[in-house]
Amino acid sequence: MDLSGRHLLSLKDYTPEEIRYLLDESKKFKADFKAYKRNRVLDGFTLGMIFQKKSTRTRVSTETAMFFLGGHALFLGQDDIQLGAGESIKDTARVLSRMVDGILARVYAHEDVDILSKNSSIPVINALSDKYHPLQILADLLTIEEHKGKLAGLKLAWVGDGNNVCNSLLIGCAKMGMNMSVATPKGYEPSEEIVELAKDIAEDNGVKIIISNDPVAVVTNADVVVTDTFVSMGEEAEAEKKLALFKKYVITKELVTNAKSNYIFMHCLPYKHKEATEEVFESENSVVFDEAENRLHTVMAVLASLMG
């Protein structure tokens, strides 16, 4: 399958077959660690990485992946480049396109990755915007498949904030034939436009997307229980209000007794606001560090496929 030259702003632009291809490529990289060094498919390639927000997993996995693939990654923090001093996103895209072979960008407004992609002659990869986090969802799907042996037909329960990671999981689950139920406090549901899109895709694949405010109903009989921080980057001013509102949405041992006994617990990390209790986070059902490791294997597949 040839994905070279493609942007990755959201998984909604990828078919289930293309997502399957990226997951299978990730598995190949993971299975043969030494192949990282033989497969220098990005020898002589450079990736510009724009970060407007902090990152541990996305930055480290991508820089490491570029090194393993034989290429070079440039970390371009917002305040290290002229973007932070008023140069436009559009001009940044046009300049980088003349010098590097790919752009990865972590931005506040999703519109900014859109502008980057429209003004770049090279692939643009969304490394998290206010709307989507596609790289995370590839790692999540790989982790689920490794632990459950399949994706299709499973039930994933999301409890917490209807945020960027939730939006992306809705698309990823619907495309891969998984049922997804979401419980958020009132007013914090995922984007209506994305829910509608996910419901349409899910219907075609014979599965269901359910949006509710009831954590117990959502977790009941789930194979996978997922949450994320209650306070995303950029929402710090709302932290106190959100943490108070989200108290009933903390994933506790009692809540997960409603899930299947062999459920897995996932969280994209960082785990900052005790959105799950330590008991759940540290339990045998928790696969959060497998999920973090899979960021490396999946981004290898994305970089090799889109930039190679």
Q: Whose CA is closest to 123, among 2, 291, 1, 296?
A: 2
CB-nearer residue toward ligand CP: 129 or 285: 129
First to last CA, the chain: 12
R_g of the chain, CA atoms, integer Å: 19
- Using the rule CB under 6 A, which residue among 46, 55, 213, 232 binds ligand CP? 55
Q: Name the one residue in this structure whose structure tokens are 């930039």.
A: 307
Strand 124-126: give its sheet, edge to edge.
72-77, 46-51, 102-106, 124-126
Q: How far apart are CA 75 and CA 210, in angstroms?
A: 39
Assess 227 for contact with ligand NVA (CB under 6 A). Answer: no
By beta-carbon distance, which residue lies closest to ligand NVA? 232
Q: What is the distance of C-alpha 82 from the center of its chain?
A: 27
Residue that the structure tokens 């291809």 belong to: 21
If contact means CB under 5 to 8 A according to the sort of partner, which of ligand CP, ligand NVA, none does residue 64 touch?
A: none
From 106, 110, 267, 297, the catalytic residue = 106
- List CB contacts of 161: < 8 A, sequence separation 6 or more: 184, 188, 228, 229, 230, 232, 242, 246
For 146, phi then psi, to 5°, come to -65, -40
| Amino acid in the structure at residue 59 | R
229 binds ligand NVA (CB under 6 A): yes
**Residue 295 a catalytic site member:** yes
Q: Residue 200 corresponds to which tokens in the numbers above?
A: 């349409």
Task: Give yes or no: 20 in active site.
Answer: no
Applying CB under 6 A, does 232 fall inside the site for ligand CP? Answer: no
Residues from 121 through 140 that contact ligand NVA (CB under 6 A): 128
* Residue 56 binds: one of ligand NVA, ligand CP, none (C-beta under 5 to 8 A by kind): ligand CP
Q: How far is the CB of 65 from ligand CP (least distance, A)?
A: 13
Residues 265-294 that bind ligand CP (CB under 6 A): 268-270
Compute the Cα dihedral for 159, 166, 24, 290 and give only its sign. Answer: negative
Nearer to ligand CP by Cβ, of 256 and 296: the residue is: 296
88 near ligand CP (CB under 6 A) = no
* Contact call for residue 26 and ligand CP (CB under 6 A): no
- Told to judge if 38 belongs to the known catalytic residues of this protein, a careful annotator would answer no
Q: Is residue 228 flagged as an active site residue?
A: yes
The nearer residue to ligand CP, 95 or 269, going by C-beta atoms, is: 269
The answer to whether residue 58 forms part of the interface with ligand CP (CB under 6 A) is yes
User: Could you say whether residue 239 binds ligand NVA (CB under 6 A)?
Assistant: no
Find the binding residues for ligand CP in span 105-164 (CB under 6 A).
Answer: 128, 136
Residue pair 190/170 in contact (Cβ under 8 Å)? The answer is: yes
What is each CA distance from 35 to 59, 98, 202, 233, 279, in whole angstroms?
A: 22, 30, 36, 36, 38
Q: What angle do CA 304, 306, 308 make, to 5 degrees?
A: 50
112 interacts with ligand NVA by CB under 6 A? no
Tell me if 56 contacts ligand CP by CB under 6 A: yes
Indicate whether 228 belongs to the interface with ligand NVA (CB under 6 A): yes
Of the pair 122, 141, the CB lying nearest ligand NVA is at 141
What's the min distance (Å) between Cβ of 233 and ligand NVA? 4
- Residues catalogued as catalytic: 106, 133, 136, 228, 268, 295
**By the criterion CB under 6 A, which residues form the site for ligand NVA?**
128, 163-165, 228-229, 232-233, 268
Binding site for ligand CP (CB under 6 A): 55-58, 128, 136, 268-270
